[in-house]
Structures are given as C-alpha cells and as structure tokens.
A and B are shown apart, each in its own frame.
Chain A
C-alpha cells in the first residue's frame, strides 16, 4: 500500500492505495464520486475523462499512485449543485444527452475545450470531443450544447 495525497475538486484527500488501483477506481469507489464512468477501461471511450493538472486524461489509464501530488477535477467539480457551469446548463437546455453514460466525460471535455478556446468552430468542437464516444450517437445535440455554452459565455462575459 502507498499513501497518496491528491486534491480532488479542491479538497485534499489522503488515501492509502494499492499500486494496481486506477485513479478512476479511487474516484468512484473510495471518494464515491460516481460521475466519471468506466466504459471501455482501455482509454478509448472517454467516459472516465477528468482534468488532471489542467489537462484532460482518461482516469482508467492512470494509476492512483501516479496522481500523488496532483490536482484532479471531475464532473462534480466543474460546477456546483447550486450553480451549474455554462456547459452543464447548455446540455440541460439543448438535450445534450440521451442515456447519460457519456455525459460526464462530454461535459469535462467540453469545459476543457472552452477554457482553451472560448469560440470554437464546429470542427474544433468535434475534435475537442473526439476522445469521447456517445453510443446513443446523440452527437448533434452535444455539439449544439457546446456551441450554445460558448455563445452564452462570450455574451455574458463569463470565462
């Protein structure tokens, strides 16, 4: 067992982990943050996407011990229950989800994209969520949601 210190959604967590535990397992099963999902488990579907030290990553491919000293943001941390972030709001307003399984990953990737590029073109949005699969194939509404969030953010001067 190894002790790790990882900041998750702004809160410092000290956890004893086995080397074989992934960051995703720790997030879901130790911290009970069940937004990030395990889809494929091998870094292809993006359902487990979180932001680690400012970059989106597949948490199913990262050992918990590798996250020692890092800062992680999950879908639970991009907004709050009281105030959703603009991407979450837009997904609600524009029906950017069907079964919901890919939604946390889509929202994290969408949030990351708009942080880097507040006014993306449709092609840039498609590229930004290329690592996130939606097997309901509801991509059109997801892309429209991210477009709407970008519009809303630039209009409201929010960043």
Chain B
C-alpha cells in the first residue's frame, strides 16, 4: 500500500523557453535532484505518492515551442515532437490514415482529461510495461530521438526500455521526438487493448501488429506486446514464424502461439500470468487478421470518430 499525500512537497519550478536555456538550467541544478516533465500526468501523481526520489526542482518543457509538432513527410515518415499531446495524436487524420495502430493506442490512454495533457513522448519515457503507445510504436518500428547538451542520438524504441518504469536516458538527456519510419505507413497496423474498463484502465494485455503482404503472403510483420514482460516487447519469434509464409489460419495461429510462448507475464492484481499468456495468443492472432483485413480493403477497421 503506497502512502498518499494530498499536497505536493515543496520544489523549485523552472520553465525554459528553448533547449539552450534548458541545458543551462540543468547545469544550474548542480546535479541536485531535478525532474523534467511535459504533461505531468505521471510525474505529478508520482510526486503526490512520494514515489521515488522527490525532485528538488521541476523543469517544465511546455514553453519549448520547437518541441510542439506532429510532422509527416511521405518518403521519410512521422515525427512526433516531445510536446505533442496524446489527444492531438489520437485525433490526427494523418496518423489515422498512415499509422492506425498508434492513433488507436493514443485514444485508449486514460480518459479525455488525461489525453488533453499527456504526451506520447511522456508515455514512452515513463516506460510502464503496460504503456498503450509502446506496443503500437514497437510494431511500427519507431525510434526515439534523444538530446542533451552534448548532442543528439537516435535509439530504436526496442532498445529504449530497460526495465519496469526504466529507460536508457542518461542524466541530462531528454526525448525530443518519437520517429516512425515511412516503411510501416499504411492501413495494415492495429492495436488491441484488453482491459475490464474501456477507459481509465491499464492494459491487462496490449497487442499491436503491423503487416505488409503480397498475394496473401506475409512480406513483413512486426508484433508489439504490452503488460506481459518487464518492458513492452517485440514478439520476434512470432514474427520470424510468419515472415515469408502464407497468411493462412494455420500460420497465423502458429505465430500467435509463438508470441504466447516468448512473452514473460507475471501474476498481478489485473490478471494471472497464465491468463495473460493465453490472451497474448488470442489477441496476436486477432491483431494479425485485423491488420490483414485492413490491408486488403485499404481501410482501417478502427475509426477515429472526429479526426482533424
């Protein structure tokens, strides 16, 4: 049982207007505990719960306008700036058209009030095993652009997560953007979330698939799994089983069984390890079929409601 304090403990608040000012402020804290945040929908509750080290300084990224964008260039792909909200991704017609798995996953996070504040980059940085956008972005072969005073580097998303709520960011480094390549753009991706409630709930299991096919044969497939391992993961064995094979019922089910075998779920209040493993099997097959149907019809089966 975690202790809950209604009030936040005292801290200093800094709000840089650009990246160079951010690096300066980080240096100014002289290594005393600071925490960088954008939407605050994970950072603030954690601070109220006194979870982890209580930061002496909070550095708010929201005034750094150069980080607030969603850009799609055909031939290059999608870039989601660190300040792009979950809501803006969930309501983007562009993302619904090219990366339906991601738009679907964003729309499954929390509820509207959270989606309006939270950012996709923050969902990734928080590195929860159940983060909804993580399986979708893994299936879409995304990478993470990180920056620090020393410069930039780009890390494949699958190497970004290092443990439950742990990522590979170094001290003084932030995520500036999530990049999704052009190669996974198209209708053939989807995300399926299993949770007792349709909103404001964590995934018991989350499965995303991204598929390319020619004449019923699987040319490329990527499967992302959430909440069934210490970090969000790719189901690499399942992918290898299906790659190059006919997308028959039998082959899809074989891949789904491989996914169920290669994940490592644990028992928790949300579901037993055995149940989660079984559901990975069911949902992986379902996700592949759904992606296949969308590819064939050229339309995503999931819809956005009112995208802009």
A residues sitting closer than 8 Å to B (CB atoms) are: 2, 18-22, 25, 38, 41-44, 46, 49, 55-58, 61-63, 65-66, 109, 112, 116-117, 124, 127-128, 130-132
Q: Which residues of A lie under 8 Å from residue B12 when comparing CB positions?
A: 19
Task: Name the residue in B8, B49, B110 with the highest tally of chain A Cβ atoms < 10 Å from its Cβ.
Answer: B8
Q: Which residues of A lie under 8 Å from residue B48 when comparing CB positions?
A: 41-42
The minimal Cβ–Cβ distance linking B269 to chain A, given in whole angstroms, is: 15
Inter-chain CA distance A21–B11, complex, in Å, is 10
Q: Which of B188-205 contact A (CB under 8 A)?
A: 197-200
The minimal Cβ–Cβ distance linking B243 to chain A, given in whole angstroms, is: 37
Q: Considering only CB atoms, which chain B residue lies closest to A21 in the complex?
A: B8
> Is B215 located at the chain interface by the 8 A CB criterion?
no
The minimal Cβ–Cβ distance linking A133 to chain B, given in whole angstroms, is: 8
The answer to whether A130 and B198 touch across the interface, beta carbons within 8 angstroms, is yes
Inter-chain CA distance A22–B9, complex, in Å, is 11
Q: Which residues of A lie under 8 Å from residue B45 when comparing CB positions?
A: 42-43, 61
The answer to whether A20 and B8 touch across the interface, beta carbons within 8 angstroms, is yes
Inter-chain CA distance A93–B183, complex, in Å, is 55
On chain B, the number of residues with a Cβ less than 8 Å from chain A's Cβ atoms is 33
> Is B275 located at the chain interface by the 8 A CB criterion?
no
The answer to whether B116 and A55 touch across the interface, beta carbons within 8 angstroms, is yes
Q: Which residues of B lie under 8 Å from residue A61 when comparing CB positions?
A: 40-41, 44-45, 117
Q: A19-B13, A61-B44, A127-B199 are in contact. Are A43 and B8 (CB under 8 A)?
A: no
Q: A19-B58, A43-B113 are in contact. Are A55 and B13 (CB under 8 A)?
A: no
Partner among A18, A58, A62 whose Cβ is within 8 Å of the Cβ of B10:
A18
Known contacts A61-B40, A127-B199; 14 additional CB pairs below 8 A are A18-B10, A19-B10, A19-B13, A20-B7, A38-B6, A42-B49, A46-B113, A58-B114, A62-B44, A63-B13, A65-B15, A109-B113, A130-B200, A131-B199
Q: Which of B4-37 contact A (CB under 8 A)?
A: 4, 6-13, 15
The answer to whether A43 and B112 touch across the interface, beta carbons within 8 angstroms, is no
